[in-house]
Amino acid sequence: MLEVKKISKLSLANIAALLYALFGFIVSFTALIYTLIKVILEKETAGKLAQYIFINLGLDFLIALGVAVIAGIIGWLVGLIAAAFYNFLAREIGGIKIEFLDETSVAPVTKAESTLKDKQELFKY
């Protein structure tokens, strides 16, 4: 069984920033498009409707980009703090233990073998 002892803070921060930015953009742009559709259906617009829509779509896109940048910054900070917190806890109480399936060994493990492996794990350190 492998144990994750430490997580690279910058690696987790970068992944979190990318995910936060992506979801921030998608959610904010979807909400802004929904609002634009509601405004078009409920109000009479002065001037050309197509011009009104394209101007608002451009503004919606810029607002969504701004939200994505802010969400990315927040995600980076959250990722950095989460990695630091995980590293502290892993050092104090132990990290996450992960067991991978070895594809070469297809035979099931008996209870006696499992108990023996568990005892060997106890005295591994």
Mean pLDDT to the nearest integer, 87-92: 92
Give the pLDDT of residue 80. Answer: 96
Tell me which H or E stretch contains 63. helix 49-93
In the chain, how many domains are there? 1
- Tell me the average pLDDT of the chain: 81
**What SS3 class is residue 47?**
coil
Give the pLDDT confidence of 100-109 residue by residue, as tens digits. 777 665 555 5
In the chain, what percentage of residues exceed pLDDT 90? 42
Q: Is residue 84 predicted with pLDDT exceeding 80?
A: yes
**Would you call 75 exposed, middle or buried from its count of C-beta atoms within 10 A (0-12, 13-18, 19+)?**
buried
Task: Give the pTM.
Answer: 0.66
**Would you call 71 exposed, middle or buried from its count of C-beta atoms within 10 A (0-12, 13-18, 19+)?**
buried
Is residue 36 within 8 Å of residue 60, measured between CB atoms?
Answer: yes
Is residue 91 within 8 Å of residue 17, measured between CB atoms?
Answer: no
The boundaries of the domain holding residue 34 are 2-122
Q: Is residue 54 predicted with pLDDT exceeding 90?
A: no
